[in-house]
Structure 1
């Protein structure tokens, strides 16, 4: 079996970087550029700052880490920052829409790319469905807090944790329609909502610090104790149980690290910035910059809210808060700032809306990228008249709607975390693989101390995955097994890489046989055409010509003018010393006595005549070597004072690249600096 056949049938065939970055994807399958650096930062903040910022600190402080939850935020943020460095380097190399899927395709091959892409699809679909349900809960609570009456028949169809929910359905359909009709409108909406929720978060931090008491932070690390029953056993607990007591513990040093995986769920979303690479101007530089800036900003905001919340209430006081209200709103009500509850409700609704918006954008781009490679049906890669992948948007949104209305998605929250961490593992490993296999690639952003940093990222992410529940791992394995089966049935045969490799190689062109050279002798031995001969040429001057192409060819050297020169034109017409055409047609005839007018010559007035009765050199005295009338040119041109430059332009042919003398100061049309000149030549696009 030849190498080509093995490559076609190999499930680990890699996508070359050169094809991944645009040579394979052209025409109607290209996304338009809409994002700048600040847009990417807003995109990251839109997905990382959701409802979790208003509740996750209080929940983890009460149940797992105590006031030391501040360290848990930093631990989770540090792990995500290490993963973000790997994403930044690969985004600068492969700035395309597929994110971790495309990185794995380039670094490891098609099968692993499909596995990572399938995990991303699960993550984004579940995240959109879960957050649509949470959005319905917060929207219903906001209506109650503002005293908006809700009909009894509608009360059972909104704010439900499972079953049909009209608000969850409505927000998904609204965002899906917005994305399917153009990215620019959704970007403006995202800017407005992100700015609004950042203002709300600023009010929360400022008000919380007003009621801050340092005593609420002690003891900072409560003593360790066994976790309450019913929390579920993690994989790490199961492994420790093999060697000793594997019962889960909370608080203490162990509780700080146990809270980190749940907090990492709040930071998940910086990786989605990479899905916008193909729509970003100067993506190799702007995507890493926007990704890291958004992540650092999100970590700072989460830590500030945690300090304000825990310092305002204290760990033990959380147990006495009103369970019917959102945690942060109940905390402000306990200190006499109940008006902040309504502000938090509005901020939570806006925050969740932006998260759903960015999740559906990213889901669409992953589906679009996989369909473009042929691993999913190719129609999903089609572009609408709005220059967006509307089919992928509609399909992805419809799947999210079905899942949100039929499944108890709130119990599958950790599936989102494991899908993201699984992609983190492959991205970190891809940095090492490409550093080894393709050291020649241009890397506008490089991970500092790459081998050590990448290995540390793999270890940290793997540890976070071990803290997830055994049930989560079981569901993840079932999902991935179904994905591999789908690839074997469909994607492996429809892959664009396979189709390209199946094409036969182009045949090498066979060179035409060379004709026999002419017999030795002068050029006049070439056969002449059978055409009427022109009148015989007048006698030529025989004086010495010390300059130009006639130097050394007459006057004592016994040489004759060569064919093709001004005084020895080739039989059948040629060019003179200055490249002006003569008028002969046949190879055997001389040019006519009166040449045809040069239609390309510019019109000009006659100049003062020189001593020989011909035109002078533009009003100057003729050169000492000026000869008599040129029988075949327009006028007598004196020999130059210096040998002519063989690369000089013909003075009788206008320079096509010279500026227009009538152009305005801006290079545009006459008198109009902003008017572009008519395109032509090398300036035409």
Structure 2
């Protein structure tokens, strides 16, 4: 099927832009907190290995995304891949999971951005009246501003992303270099801290099966990896930009892999500095990295960290809005969402209508829903998509072995199968309540599909057959 001009996205991104897009969403404020918190509560200095384990799991998924995006360079990412490989019903399920992941993530990160900005202002000695009200106003401001930027001028949004990513990388570089001068090798001595029962029983699916849960030691190192995986999630958003990328079959795989590898190196470097400056038993959970610098007498670095964290979350929100827009745009273009959402603005040359709708929903969620308690649902939605992408590589290799691929996963089907297993392992380390909420969301989504999507889908719409014996919908190629 060919899409008309009113439903086609213009080329915008070049290879370097995709790397910036990936770094913009994978490196947020969590880089300054996740290492310290997991070191203090779960893995000790072994958190460095936890970052490596999570990074390897993410890289396996990234390789699978790279192959499918090189074969199907269209907006929609895992939704588009699943549509071609498994059909419309499974595509709807994955699209619905991506909506949960990206829409909720934008609200969660925006809320965290508001709270972090207020704290950063307070750290500079400025006392704000009614800080809770200020947070609400800041959340409204940042989501409104970034949604308008994405809706009205994609190029301005890309330029702003370049500036902010460059600034936060400079700040992170300062953290790594300055912190390296205060690393004490003895702090790595207890690398495999003795295991001990958790103060509060864990409620993950894995713990239910094992009947026990421990912190530290090898169990703690592996248990910390799923929480750290949250930091890596986002590289898949690069695939949603495939339709807007010059020479996408080759540029998108390179952009995804390079951004994830760079992000992994940066995260591990920060983790080494974090646990090397002070013993893990003295790490503060409120502001781990800032407190570590204060502990070694470098108080001014706390301000650098605050600025970098605010910039980091800003780029995350921006890229999440871009990714969510492209997924819902693709679903609307296929008729599974209202077709009006797939209209390209003639004035701004962007899918402005769907962008403003997404921005409005994010504002409502961030202002009125307890999004801070729903972070694991973001991870669940992403991992669910990872699982289908890994399976998609295996199935497509068997069904369409001669299809032109700009990138191929090495050692297939072994590596895709390993990616599938790694993703499942990360999923069973999520809380049971997360699985329950995710199941309810997917059940609701299935009802929406049966009530709306199936009846309005382009596959259900009658179309004249090109030949007398051609069946409706036969031979449909999505892009």
User: Normalised by the shorter chain, which TM-score bucket?
Assistant: over 0.9
Q: Which residue matches 1:412?
A: 374
Q: What are the superposed Cα offsets for residues 91-146 of structure 1, whole Å, 9 maximum, x if unpaired?
A: 00000110000000000000000000000000001111111111011100111122
Report 1:403-442 matches (<5 A): 403-442=365-404
Higher relative contact order (CA 8 A, sep 6+): 2
Taking the aligned partners of 1:142 and 1:329, their CA distance within structure 2 comes to 11
1:390 partnered with 2:369: no
Report 1:136-535 matches (<5 A): 136-150=114-128, 152=129, 154-159=130-135, 165-229=136-200, 232-240=202-210, 246-318=211-283, 321=284, 326-384=287-345, 385-499=347-461, 502-506=462-466
Q: In proportion to residue count, which structure has more helix?
A: 2
Gaps of 5+ in 1: 1-18, 160-164, 241-245, 510-685
- Secondary structure at 2:133 match in 1: coil
Report 1:36-75 matches (<5 A): 36-75=14-53
Taking the aligned partners of 1:435 and 1:155, their CA distance within structure 2 comes to 55
- Report the Cα offset of residue 503 of structure 1: 2.5
What is the count of residue pairs matched by the alignment?
A: 468
Taking the aligned partners of 2:280 and 2:288, their CA distance within structure 1 comes to 13
- Report the Cα offset of residue 508 of structure 1: 5.8
2:110 equivalent among 122, 128, 132: 132
- Report the Cα offset of residue 211 of structure 1: 0.6
Taking the aligned partners of 1:376 and 1:340, their CA distance within structure 2 comes to 47
Taking the aligned partners of 1:508 and 1:256, their CA distance within structure 2 comes to 63
- Report the Cα offset of residue 148 of structure 1: 2.6
- Report the Cα offset of residue 196 of structure 1: 0.2
1:29 partnered with 2:7: yes
Taking the aligned partners of 1:503 and 1:273, their CA distance within structure 2 comes to 33
Q: Larger radius of gyration, structure 1 or 2?
A: 1
- Secondary structure at 2:413 match in 1: helix
1:76 equivalent among 44, 54, 57: 54
- Report the Cα offset of residue 156 of structure 1: 3.3
Taking the aligned partners of 1:417 and 1:508, their CA distance within structure 2 comes to 48
Q: What are the superposed Cα offsets for residues 53-108 of structure 1, whole Å, 9 maximum, x if unpaired?
A: 00100000000111000000000000000000100000000001100000000000
- Shift in alpha-carbon separation, 1:506–1:38, aligned structure 2, 3 A: closer
- Secondary structure at 2:404 match in 1: coil
Q: Which residue matches 2:473?
A: none
Taking the aligned partners of 1:83 and 1:30, their CA distance within structure 2 comes to 28
Taking the aligned partners of 2:466 and 2:132, their CA distance within structure 1 comes to 66
Instruction: Report the TM-score, using the length of structure 2 for normalisation.
Output: 0.96
Q: What are the superposed Cα offsets for residues 12-33 of structure 1, whole Å, 9 maximum, x if unpaired?
A: xxxxxxx4xxxx2232111011
- Secondary structure at 1:189 match in 2: helix
- Report the Cα offset of residue 504 of structure 1: 4.1
Report 1:615-630 matches (<5 A): none
- Report the Cα offset of residue 223 of structure 1: 1.2
- Report the Cα offset of residue 498 of structure 1: 2.1
- Secondary structure at 2:66 match in 1: helix
- Secondary structure at 1:496 match in 2: coil
- Secondary structure at 2:403 match in 1: coil
Taking the aligned partners of 2:193 and 2:266, their CA distance within structure 1 comes to 24
Instruction: Report the TM-score, using the length of structure 1 for normalisation.
Output: 0.67
Taking the aligned partners of 1:75 and 1:171, their CA distance within structure 2 comes to 34
